[in-house]
A and B are shown apart, each in its own frame.
Chain A
Amino acid sequence: MTTTAITAIIVILYLIGAPILGGILAGLDRIITARMQGRYGPPVWQPFYDVLKLMSKEKAAVNKTQNFYVFCFLLFMIFTGAVFFAGGDLLLVLFALTLASIFLVLGAFSSNSPYSFIGAERELIQTMAYEPMVLITAAGMYLATKSFFVADIAAFSTPLIYYLPGIFIGFVYILTIKFRKSPFDLSTSHHAHQELVKGLTTEFSGPTLAMIEIAHWYENIFLLGIVYLFFAFNPLLGVIVALLTYFLEILIDNSNARVTWQLTMKSAWIVAATLGMANLIIVFFKLSV
């Protein structure tokens, strides 16, 4: 088979498989979380039931434009993952990811509702908090492999983690923000009984909310894909580490109380500036000499 055909198959597998895997992951998440809290928890298929139910609900919105932004959020989230799994340019992937996130924030802004407005602001703060570390991760991967292409990075024979341990830890740190886990679940949460109601997603309902859920499934699989890259020299190990990382995030979620946005912002930038930059500098000198 030609490489183009293989790439096409991988992308199709991603398009169909990512929401299924992502949904199952979300189901497992809920079971594990429940067990950690001494509850029994829902069946593993619960996230799918939720989404199906949301889809059957009446379409309601606070204005005519907000659904447009959410649709773009979903579209570009799928696009982000598609370019990633097609082995494309990592920077292009990351910029598409940013574009997707911005669309969600804009959707929340457009509703002009106080809770979603603050949710949107906090989501933006979170984006600003994790963005440097994400770019440093891409830069580190480039310096180690001399390529921005995901295909080349995945095919790199030396374990990336060997060059980029600091960047890996930094990336896992901001992953907590990206997965919307406590202590960094500032902008929205699964439960609508907190100070911001449901924050960012307060004014989204029915099929629109379902789109956001599905987009998150795609996003989570893509993010675990980046974790996988650090261990891609051994595919099995890569998958195991990705799953362990997710488990770690659940553990962190259940053992931490929400922090303020100030601490989120500060800590994420400090992690990026110390762990991330230090690692980048070491790789820069080690590999350029």
Chain B
Amino acid sequence: MDILFFLVLFPLAAAALLLILPNNAIRSIIVWFSSIVLTAATIYLTFLYFDKGTIYFNFDMALVNELMLVIEAILAIFIFAVGLKYKKYLASILITLQAPLIIWFELTYGHALRPEHNLFLDNFSLIMALIIGIIGSLICVYALGYMKDFHNHHHEMKDKRNVFFFIMFIFLSAMFGLVFSNNLIWLYFFWEITTLCSFLLIGYTKTTEAVNNAFLAIIMNLLGGLAFAGAIVYMYFAAGIIELDKLITFVGQGNMMLLLPVALLSFAGITKAAQMPFSSWLLGAMVAPTPTSALLHSSTMVKAGVYLVVRLAPALMGTFVGEMVALVGGVTFLLASCIAISQTNAKRVLAYSTVANLGLIVACGGIGTAEAVWAAILLIIFHAIAKSLLFLCVGTVEHKIGSRDIEDMDNLIARMPKIAVMMVIGIAGMFLAPFGMLISKWAALKAFIDTSFILVGLLSFGSAATLFFWTKWMGKLIAMVNQKEQLETTVSGSEWVPLYLHAFLTIVVCLAFPLVSSTLIEPYLIPIFGKVATLGQGNMLIMVMMLAVVVLLPLGMMSGSKGTKIVPVYMGGGNLDAYTKFQGPLGMVVNLAMRNYYMDQFFGEKKLALLGVILCTSLFLVTIFWMFGVGII
């Protein structure tokens, strides 16, 4: 149990040091050191517990509860005050609704509350801990080099890197706490801290846009927080429990009244996981420096949202609420994938693809069968690694070519060969067979087909859209022009190390996914569902073999292309050089420029986002009406 506390407290200590020691060299040492320690600690934790099943820890200490209460109160006052200061009254109103509710509840009933187990640890928590510990730490290391560059590019901004790293590490600490908590009041505490951290990180640059988007994020997440607080209070009065495991057990035993807190918690998960109609906060978060985006998208924040939904899967399975949650996810997957086609800004493409993939995870959680949860956990793993890799690549490219527009990335394979190869690995990891995300999409399809034809339809169309926007991006990167301008030489070491490790992890996790499934995921599923769900040994083997071929072939092929004559491309005129201009009619010199299709008339952002808001809001309303109808409310 000590190691659980270590994982929560150590990043906290690192954060405190980073805040008070603003010297760059010292910061660098602390970040590197803490990241190595956190990585090692999570791996050690996994080795200790991966075959132990679910372990509960009582750890009953009044002091901890009181401390949490005080911090919650301070945070509430802080949010209330900034809301007033920036005239974002909605944030202030939302916090005045929920903070007094939860504080009153804890003060009045806190002493009567004696949860049996405050903490727990099972293989799902372990997987989350690994993602937070490894991917999260790597992003912090990357941020060292990136933020230095960032402030060199933006002299007008005040350099508050000590605060930046302080929040990053607090974030990691809160995430660890979140995935180990069984007591929902504790979970709620960490939940609110992640909300606040993301608010501060998004608003880091203090530009008008950043401030507006930070408030958008906090308002939407406070809405989820309000639902969360409501769920806790209701649960206590309806059944006298405040533990996650008991909630799931009670619903499983047929206590239908408890579907309301399950629905409220799912709603909180949906807001945090940026599902429609709340996807706009995650898009807005793109104004933040890239390490923030990478952190929000891969190992923290949105993953907390899907974590909660997937946790609740056994309670959602086979219920009307579960179906509605799954539909919100499915609709979000399809629409966000389509909108991604119309985006030229690389970070927005990544953001929409995150929203889409989270949609798929939420859909799996809502369906809640063994197959679906298996797919959901795989999606969480693969998405965390591949998406983080892509953000880090885009961040580095942006600093070197001065643009995050995909149209400016043509020929990157010649200008930044290593980064381009890593981006291709990341993109392949996101959608291409036999890389990981496709494995999980396949599993999701198999999970949906017995339960919901609508989800099968949404998945079919959505995955066609993902194929389009990823491949056209990949095409831009690999277009070959013989050009010798090299931009990679000035990328710093603290960026290279995380990049290489991410690319390496993407491939290793895909190759080793049968092992990940059998040692980490299946032991989690068996006690809950009484069965395992996999793709079948034969298929998994074939997938791994395909991956080996895809990875090994380039090595052999690149050396084996001797004897091929290299000729200029055909441009329909007299070529003036091999690739970039030609002589057209009347001796006119024409510069060659090629642009991707964005199909705004079909996949325009405004139109589809509005459709998503309408559809998903209706799904919420239908759920509420249903609960009225059957007497749950």
Indicate whether A111 reaches chain B with its CB closer than 8 angstroms.
Answer: yes
1/0 per position for B390-426, CB-CB distance to A under 8 A? 0000000000000000000011000000000000000
- Chain B residues near A51 (CB, 8 Å)? none
Is A124 a contact partner of B471 (Cβ separation < 8 A)?
A: yes
Q: Could you give 20 example pairs across A and B, Cβ below 8 Å?
A: A60-B565, A60-B567, A62-B567, A62-B578, A91-B442, A92-B543, A102-B432, A105-B475, A106-B471, A106-B474, A110-B475, A112-B594, A114-B594, A117-B479, A127-B468, A128-B468, A203-B570, A272-B460, A273-B457, A280-B453
Is B463 a contact partner of A131 (Cβ separation < 8 A)?
A: yes
Is B480 a contact partner of A110 (Cβ separation < 8 A)?
A: yes
Is A62 a contact partner of B569 (Cβ separation < 8 A)?
A: yes
Chain B residue nearest to A265 in the complex (CB): B602
A197/B557 contact (C-beta < 8 A), A91-B445, A91-B446, A110-B478 known = no
- Chain B residues near A95 (CB, 8 Å)? 433-434, 438, 442
1/0 per position for A123-151, CB-CB distance to B under 8 A? 01101110110011001001100001000
Indicate whether A72 reaches chain B with its CB closer than 8 angstroms.
Answer: yes
Is A71 a contact partner of B453 (Cβ separation < 8 A)?
A: no
- Chain A residues near B567 (CB, 8 Å)? 60-62
Please tell me which stretch of B98-106, B243-251, B546-554 contacts chain A, meaning at least 4 of its Cβ atoms lie within 8 angstroms of it.
B546-554
1/0 per position for A73-111, CB-CB distance to B under 8 A? 001100100010000110110011011001001100111
Chain A interface size, as a band, is: 35 or more
- Chain A residues near B459 (CB, 8 Å)? 135
Is B478 a contact partner of A109 (Cβ separation < 8 A)?
A: yes
Is A121 a contact partner of B472 (Cβ separation < 8 A)?
A: yes
A67/B467 contact (C-beta < 8 A), A113-B571, A265-B602 known = no
Interface centre among A66, A95, A203 (most CB of B within 10 A): A95
Interface centre among A105, A118, A128, A284 (most CB of B within 10 A): A128
CA distance A197 to B572 in the complex (A): 9
Indicate whether A68 reaches chain B with its CB closer than 8 angstroms.
Answer: yes
Is B475 a contact partner of A120 (Cβ separation < 8 A)?
A: yes
A280/B445 contact (C-beta < 8 A), A65-B480, A114-B594, A124-B468 known = no
CA distance A196 to B460 in the complex (A): 30
In the complex, how many angstroms separate the beta carbon of A86 from the nearest chain B beta carbon? 10
Chain A residue nearest to B482 in the complex (CB): A63
In the complex, how many angstroms separate the beta carbon of B375 from the nearest chain A beta carbon? 13
CA distance A67 to B565 in the complex (A): 12
Chain A residue nearest to B549 in the complex (CB): A75
In the complex, how many angstroms separate the beta carbon of B391 from the nearest chain A beta carbon? 23
CA distance A262 to B474 in the complex (A): 23
A113/B464 contact (C-beta < 8 A), A63-B480, A99-B433 known = no
Is B478 a contact partner of A98 (Cβ separation < 8 A)?
A: no
- Chain A residues near B108 (CB, 8 Å)? none
Closest 7 A/B residue pairs (Cβ):
A109-B475, A113-B569, A131-B464, A95-B433, A135-B460, A63-B480, A112-B479
- Chain B residues near A115 (CB, 8 Å)? 570, 572
Is A148 a contact partner of B446 (Cβ separation < 8 A)?
A: yes
Chain A residue nearest to B477 in the complex (CB): A109
In the complex, how many angstroms separate the beta carbon of A266 from the nearest chain B beta carbon? 8
- Chain B residues near A65 (CB, 8 Å)? 478, 480, 558
Is A62 a contact partner of B461 (Cβ separation < 8 A)?
A: no
Is A112 a contact partner of B480 (Cβ separation < 8 A)?
A: yes
Indicate whether B378 reaches chain A with its CB closer than 8 angstroms.
Answer: no
1/0 per position for B571-610, CB-CB distance to A under 8 A? 1100000110000000000001010110001100000000
- Chain B residues near A284 (CB, 8 Å)? 453
Is A110 a contact partner of B479 (Cβ separation < 8 A)?
A: yes
- Chain A residues near B478 (CB, 8 Å)? 65, 106, 109-110
- Chain B residues near A124 (CB, 8 Å)? 467-468, 471-472
Is B456 a contact partner of A139 (Cβ separation < 8 A)?
A: yes
- Chain B residues near A135 (CB, 8 Å)? 445, 456, 459-460, 463-464
Q: Which B537-566 residues have C-beta < 8 A from chain A? A: 538-539, 542-543, 546, 549-550, 553-554, 557-558, 561, 563-566
Indicate whether A217 reaches chain B with its CB closer than 8 angstroms.
Answer: no
Indicate whether B449 reaches chain A with its CB closer than 8 angstroms.
Answer: yes
Chain B residue nearest to A72 in the complex (CB): B553
Indicate whether A248 reaches chain B with its CB closer than 8 angstroms.
Answer: no
Is A59 a contact partner of B563 (Cβ separation < 8 A)?
A: yes
Is B572 a contact partner of A64 (Cβ separation < 8 A)?
A: no
Interface centre among B457, B539, B549, B563 (most CB of A within 10 A): B457
Is B460 a contact partner of A99 (Cβ separation < 8 A)?
A: no
A272/B570 contact (C-beta < 8 A), A89-B539, A114-B594, A135-B445 known = no
Q: Which A232-289 residues have C-beta < 8 A from chain B? A: 262, 265-266, 269, 272-273, 277, 280-281, 284
Out of B472, B565, B570, which one reaches A113, CB within 8 Å? B570
Is B557 a contact partner of A68 (Cβ separation < 8 A)?
A: yes
Chain A residue nearest to B472 in the complex (CB): A124
In the complex, how many angstroms separate the beta carbon of A263 from the nearest chain B beta carbon? 12
CA distance A142 to B549 in the complex (A): 29
CA distance A120 to B557 in the complex (A): 22
CA distance A115 to B573 in the complex (A): 12
Is A111 a contact partner of B449 (Cβ separation < 8 A)?
A: no
Chain B residue nearest to A62 in the complex (CB): B569
Interface centre among A76, A110, A262 (most CB of B within 10 A): A110
Is B553 a contact partner of A272 (Cβ separation < 8 A)?
A: no
In the complex, how many angstroms separate the beta carbon of A270 from the nearest chain B beta carbon? 11
Out of B434, B445, B463, B568, which one reaches A139, CB within 8 Å? B445
Indicate whether A202 reaches chain B with its CB closer than 8 angstroms.
Answer: yes
Out of A76, A102, A112, A139, which one reaches B481, CB within 8 Å? A112
CA distance A68 to B463 in the complex (A): 26
Indicate whether B465 reaches chain A with its CB closer than 8 angstroms.
Answer: yes
CA distance A105 to B476 in the complex (A): 12
CA distance A95 to B550 in the complex (A): 14
Interface centre among B459, B471, B550 (most CB of A within 10 A): B471
CA distance A127 to B341 in the complex (A): 14
Is B449 a contact partner of A139 (Cβ separation < 8 A)?
A: yes
Is A68 a contact partner of B546 (Cβ separation < 8 A)?
A: no
CA distance A72 to B556 in the complex (A): 12
CA distance A92 to B543 in the complex (A): 8
- Chain A residues near B561 (CB, 8 Å)? 61, 64, 67-68
Is B572 a contact partner of A92 (Cβ separation < 8 A)?
A: no
